[in-house]
Amino acid sequence: MGSDKRVQIIASDAGGTMTDMMVVDSEGNFTIGKAATTPEDQSVGFWESLIDAFEYWDTDFQEEAGRILPGVEAVVYSGTSMMNTLLTATGRKVGVITQRGDEDVFLHERSRQTWAGYPYQDILHHVTHRHNRPLVPKRLVKGVTGRIDMFTMEAIPLYEDEVRRSVEELLDEGVDAIAVCLLYSYMNPAHELRVAEIASEVMKKRGREVPVYLSHKLAPIMREQGRLNTVVLHAYAAEPGREQLFRIEEKLKGSGYRYPLQIVLSHGGLTDIRYPRIHEACFSGPIGGLLGARYLAQEMGTGNWVCTDMGGTSFDVGLIMGGEPMMEREVVITRRIYNIPTLLMDTIGAGTGMYVTIDPITNRIKIGPESAGAEPGPVCYEMGNEVPTVMDCCLIMGILNPDNYLGGKLKLNKELALNAIKEKCADVLHVDPYYLAEGVYRLINSSMREHIRAVLYARGFSPADYHLLSYGGAGPMHVAGYTEGLPFKGVATLPWAAAFSSFGCAAVDISHRYQKSTGVIIPDGAEDSWKLMMGQMMLNAGWEELEKLAAADFAAEGLPWEEARVQQIAYVRYGGQMEDLQVVSPVARINSPEDMDRLIATFEDLYEKVYAGVAKHPQAGYQIMELGLTATVPKVKPRLPRLPLEGKEPAKEAIKGEREVYINGRWHRATIYDMDTLRPGNEIEGIAVVEAPATTFFIPPARRARMDEWSLLWLG
Amino acid sequence: MSYSKDDIRDLLEGRLAWDKIKEIMSSPKDDDRFDRCIEILQERVPWPERILMPLGEHLYVVDKSGERIVKCDCGHEFGDWRQNWKLNALIFARDTREKLEEIYPGIRCPDPNLCEVREFYCPGCGTLLKVESVPVGYPIIFDALPDIDSFYSEWLGRPLADRKEFKDMTCEVTRGWGLEADGAHG
C-alpha cells in the first residue's frame, strides 16, 4: 500500500452513472476511485469503485479486503439509488388511505409540480406544463370520512367501517404497503393511529401483513400534499432502497467490517441504514459538496462561503452562513414536492456538456438547455455526438488538454470539436471558430455569474461578506470567469475539486434531525405570563417529544445519547410574513419569560444579518409554526492537513510545459502546471493552466493564484 | 431543422411519446413542418384533390379544378372555403333540458333558456366535426377563415397560381336561403 497507514474512512457517492469512492487513511491521505453505478445491485458498483480507489495505492483490494476492512471506522454511502426508483417508476405497489374528498390529490397536484425542473423559457410556456403520472393509481387511493380540524379538535369522528373496507379493498388489490395521510395529523394523530390499528386487525384476520406508514410519524409538518408525497416516497422507493444498502453492508461485513453502514441524509445528517425515516436519504446526492465546505469552514475558521459546483449539466450554488449551510424544508425533486428538510441549493442548467447551437430565428448563440451528458458526451469524445458543447469550446481554446482528460484515460479529439464548432456555429454566423468558442465561454460564465448575483442579492446578502469556493469537475476551469467583477473576499478552489462531494460525505458527523409543526403566537408587547405559557406548552412540550424520539433512535442504533450534542430549533417569523428563519435556540427550554425574549432576540439578530436592520418589524409580533431538533455525535473525519508555507516559486517539476491558449480575442503562450506537484506557498502568474487528473484550473492573463497552507488555491 | 416523417405522423395521430412532444414544443419550429403534415394528410385521404390547408381534424381546404373548397375525409364537399362550412353540415341543436342532460346530467346541466349546444355532423359520413356552445339565437360561428394566399406567398414564399379575393362570403349562403324562402312564399 502506497500509504502504510490504516484506512480509516470509506465514503462513496453513487451518482446516476458513476459511483465515486474516497478512501481516507488515519493521516488524512486519501485516494479516489470511480466505477460505473450498477442500479440493479449497487453493491457491485460499490465494490468495483473501491477496487479502483485502492489501485492508486498499489493495493489489490479484492485480495486484501479481509485485512483492510476490520480496521475501518466508518463506511459512508450517499447516492441516488432511491431517486432512480422514482425516475424509472419501479417502486413497490403502494395503497393510500387519505381524507374523503382528497382522493384525487395525485391527479390535480400542486401546479408547481407540473413545471418543476423546467428551464425558464418552458416555465413561461404553459403548453409544456404537464401533470405527472401518479406513483399510486387512483384505484389504490381510498378516502375515509373523518376530520381533525385546525384547532386539533375532532370535528367529524373517523368512520371506522370505511377504514375497514378500504383496507380490505387495498389488500384485495395485493398492495405491498399502505400509506396513510390525514389532514392535521401532525397536530393530532388520533385518527391516523386508529387507521393503523384497524388495518392491523384486518390484516391479522386475513393472515396477510403489509407495512403501514403514517404521515405524522414520517413528516409531522403542515401542508398535506408534501406530507403525503413523503409517505408515499417512503413506502414506494425508500424502503426497497434500504434493501440495496443492506446488501452493501453484508458485503463489507463479510470481509470483516465491524460497524453499521452509514448513510448521508439530505439535511446533512448521517445515520445508520436502519434509521426509520430512511426517505430523508433519497436526495443526498448533490449536497456532498456543501458538507465538505461546512467542514472546511469549521476547520479554517472562515464562516461565510458561497459554494459553487459546476458539472456536466448543472451549476449549483449553496450558501454557508456562520459555518452552517442554509436549509429548505420543502423540496421539489423529480417534479414532486416533499416535506423533507434539505440543504438549500439553487441550481441552473449550466454545465460543460451543454449543447451550443445557433437559434435559427434570432441568429444568437444558444447554450443548452439540453446537455450531451456522459453519453454521447461532447463531440471530442468521439462517441457519435455532432453538436458542439461548451467543453468542445474550452478544448479548442487550449484551456483543456486533450491528452490529460481523466488523467489521460480518455483522449479528446480536438480536430473533430473544431470542425463541429466551425460547421454548426461559426460558419452560420460568419465568424472565426475560436472567436465563437471564446464567446460561448464568456456567455456561460456570465450566466453563472448572474445566477450567483441573484442568489446573493435576492436574499439581501453581499459578496463582500463571503468567500467563494469552486468545485466540481468543471468549476475551476470557469471560476475566474464566473466570479469576475463580483467583490468576494476571496475566490478559492482545491486540487481535489472533482471529488469534493465524496470528501464532504466522509466529513459528516453522525446526526439526526427532527421536525414538528406547532403554533406559537407572541403579539407585540405580550404579557410575561403569555410568553411563559406559550414557551412551556408549545415549545418545551414539542422539544421534549422530539428528544424522546431522538433518544429512542439513538438507542436503536447503539449510540450514546448522553454524548449527543442536542440543538433546539424554532422557525420564527414576524406576524403575517410568509418566510421564517431557522433559529437555533439559545436555551434548551423556555423556563422564564426572559428565555422567550432571548429566543426572539436571536431571531432578530439573524433577521438583521439576512435582510437588514430596517426591515425588522416587531410591531407585528412573532409566530413560530414549526420547531425542530438536531442531535449529533462526532465521527472520525478525514484530517485536513495544514502544511508549512514554502517558497513562492513552484518547483521545476511542477511545470509541465507551455501551450497556446486563445483568450481576449488572441492567442497567448500559457504555462502549464501540474496541480499535484504544487506546494503551499507557491504562486503562479496568469496566463496559466493548472492540470490535475480530474480538474483543470484556468488562470487568465493578469490574474494569479496562490496555494495556502490548507492546499487551497486562491485566485488573485 | 426537421423531424422524421414517422414522428410527424405519430404527432398528428396522437401517438407520439410525451418526451418527444415536449422536445418539439421547446425547440424552434422545424422548417418543413407544414409540407410534412400536408404530405402525410394527402396520403391518408382517398381522393385526389390537392390539400391546400387542413381545417381541423377531418376537414381540408382543397384545390378542385381551380376552386378552393372545403372537403371532409370521406370526400363530402362543403363548398367554397370563404363560406362557413357549418351552414352546409347536419346540425343537431341541444336546446332543451332533456337533450342537454344527455351530456351534462344533473347540476352540470346549463339553463336551456340561456345556452344551447350545437353539434355539426358531416352529411357524407356522419362524423361529428365541431361543437359550439353559445347563447340561444346566436349566429353560427365561423371558426376560421384562413388567408391562404397570404400564407402561401408570405410565409411559405411560393404564391399559389390563382389568387382569390379574401373575404367572408357566408352571407351569400344565407342570402340564397332568403331568396329560396321568398320564392317559396312569393
The Cα–Cα gap between A612 and A206 comes to: 62
Which positions ≥6 away from A5 have C-beta within 8 Å?
Answer: A25, A26, A27, A29
A198-212 pLDDT per residue, tens: 999 999 999 999 999
The Cα–Cα gap between B178 and A426 comes to: 66
pLDDT above 80 for A373: no
Mean of pLDDT values over A224-246: 90
pLDDT of residue A128: 93
Answer whether A130 sits within 8 Å of B1, measured CB to CB. Answer: no
Does residue A438 sit in the same domain as residue A474? no
How many residues appear in chain B?
Answer: 186
Locate the chain B residue with the closest alpha carbon to A128: B22
Does residue A175 sit in the same domain as residue A321? no
pLDDT above 80 for A20: yes
The Cα–Cα gap between A95 and A74 comes to: 37
pLDDT above 90 for A425: yes
pLDDT of residue A168: 97
Does residue A96 sit in the same domain as residue A218? yes
* Contact between A494 and A711 (Cβ < 8 Å): yes
pLDDT of residue A16: 67
In DSSP notation, A285-307 reads GGGHHHHHHHHHHHHHT---EEE
pLDDT of residue A1: 44
How many C-beta atoms surround the C-beta of residue A555 within 10 A? 11
A25-75 pLDDT per residue, tens: 887 778 888 887 787 788 999 999 999 989 888 899 999 999 999 989 889
Number of domains in chain A: 5
* Contact between A327 and A342 (Cβ < 8 Å): yes
Which residue in the set B18, B26, B28 is minimally distant from A361, CB to CB? B28
**Which phi and psi (to 5°) does residue A28 adopt?**
95, 0
Does residue A334 sit in the same domain as residue A458? yes
Answer whether B26 sits within 8 Å of A361, measured CB to CB. Answer: no
Structural domain that includes position A399: 368-444
Does residue A274 sit in the same domain as residue A304? no
pLDDT of residue A522: 94
**Chain A environment of B31 (Cβ under 8 Å):** 360
A340-368 pLDDT per residue, tens: 888 988 888 888 889 999 988 889 999 98
A168-200 pLDDT per residue, tens: 999 999 999 999 999 999 989 999 999 999 999
The Cα–Cα gap between A436 and B110 comes to: 62
**Cell digits for A262?**
452509514
Does residue A200 sit in the same domain as residue A163? yes
A121-131 pLDDT per residue, tens: 888 999 999 99
A474-500 pLDDT per residue, tens: 899 999 999 999 999 999 998 877 778
Domain spans of chain B, in order of start: 1-44, 48-167
ipTM reported for the complex, 2 dp: 0.75
pLDDT of residue B123: 97
**Chain B environment of A119 (Cβ under 8 Å):** 26
Which strand (E) or helix (H) includes residue B121? strand B115-121
* Contact between B178 and B172 (Cβ < 8 Å): no
Mean of pLDDT values over A244-251: 93
- Which residue, A260, A290, A291, is CA-closest to A275? A260
3-class DSSP state of A473:
coil
Does residue A279 sit in the same domain as residue A340? no
How many residues appear in chain A?
Answer: 716
3-class DSSP state of A82:
helix
The Cα–Cα gap between A66 and A657 comes to: 44
Which residue in the set B18, B26, B28 is minimally distant from A359, CB to CB? B28
Report yes or no: A362 at the B interface, CB cutoff 8 Å. Answer: no
> Residue A714 pairs with which residues in a beta bridge?
A492, A706
Does residue A436 sit in the same domain as residue A536? no
Does residue A108 sit in the same domain as residue A150? yes
pLDDT of residue A377: 85
Distance from CA of B159 to the nearest CA of A (A): 22
**Chain A environment of B20 (Cβ under 8 Å):** none
Q: With a cut of 70, which residues of chain B have pLDDT below it?
A: 184-186
- Treating both helix axes as pointing N-terminal to C-terminal, what angle do A61-68 and A42-55 enclose, rounded to 10 degrees? 90
pLDDT of residue A696: 92
pLDDT of residue A4: 58
* Bond from prior residue into A687 cis (ω within 30 degrees of 0): yes
Which residue in the set B26, B28, B31 is minimally distant from A122, CB to CB? B26
Q: Do the domain assignments include residue A707?
A: no
Residue that the C-alpha cell 499535484 belongs to: A676
**Which phi and psi (to 5°) does residue A504 adopt?**
-55, -40
pLDDT above 70 for A637: yes
**Which phi and psi (to 5°) does residue A503 adopt?**
-60, -45
Q: Do the domain assignments include residue A681?
A: no
Does residue A380 sit in the same domain as residue A420? yes
pLDDT above 50 for A3: no
pLDDT of residue B122: 97
pLDDT above 60 for A563: yes
* Contact between A589 and A540 (Cβ < 8 Å): yes
- CA of residue A576 relative to chain centroid, distance: 31
Quote the mean pLDDT of chain A.
90
pLDDT of residue A655: 94
- Which residue, A191, A169, A190, A192, is CA-closest to A179? A192
Q: Do the domain assignments include residue A216?
A: yes
Distance from CA of A193 to the nearest CA of B (A): 38
**Cell digits for A31?**
485516494
Does residue A267 sit in the same domain as residue A318? no
Q: How confident is the model at residue A155 (pLDDT cuts 50, 70, 90)?
A: very high
Distance from CA of B57 to the nearest CA of A (A): 20
Percent of chain A with pLDDT over 70: 98
Locate the chain B residue with the closest alpha carbon to A124: B26
Mean of pLDDT values over A546-558: 90
CATH of the domain at A471: 3.30.420.40
Residue A163 corresponds to which amino acid? V
Between A321-325, A517-521, A668-672, the lowest mean confidence (pLDDT) is in: A321-325
DSSP H helical ranges for chain B: 5-12, 18-26, 33-44, 97-101, 148-150, 170-185
- Which residue, A555, A350, A650, A317, is CA-closest to A453? A317
- Which residue, B48, B31, B52, is CA-closest to B160? B52
Does residue A230 sit in the same domain as residue A277? no
In DSSP notation, A307-344 reads EEEE-SS-EEEEEEETTEE-EESSEEETTEEE---EE-
pLDDT of residue A331: 84
The Cα–Cα gap between A580 and A157 comes to: 34
Comparing A376 with B108, the larger pLDDT belongs to B108
> Residue A21 pairs with which residues in a beta bridge?
A12, A33
Report yes or no: A125 at the B interface, CB cutoff 8 Å. Answer: yes
Answer whether A359 sits within 8 Å of B1, measured CB to CB. Answer: no
| Secondary structure of A107-172 in HEC code, one letter for each residue | HHCCHHHHCCCCCHHHHHCHHHCCCCCCCCCHHHEEEECCEECCCCCEEECCCHHHHHHHHHHHHH
Which residue in the set A122, A130, A360 is minimally distant from B28, CB to CB? A360
Report yes or no: A363 at the B interface, CB cutoff 8 Å. Answer: no
Q: Check the CA dihedral A219-A220-A222-A225 and report its sign.
A: positive
Percent of chain A with pLDDT over 90: 56
**Cell digits for A88?**
424509472
Comparing B184 with A644, the larger pLDDT belongs to A644
- CA of residue A164 relative to chain centroid, distance: 41
Answer whether A130 sits within 8 Å of B18, measured CB to CB. Answer: yes
Which residue in the set B1, B25, B31 is minimally distant from A127, CB to CB? B25
Q: Do the domain assignments include residue A688?
A: no
pLDDT of residue B135: 97
The Cα–Cα gap between A495 and B29 comes to: 45
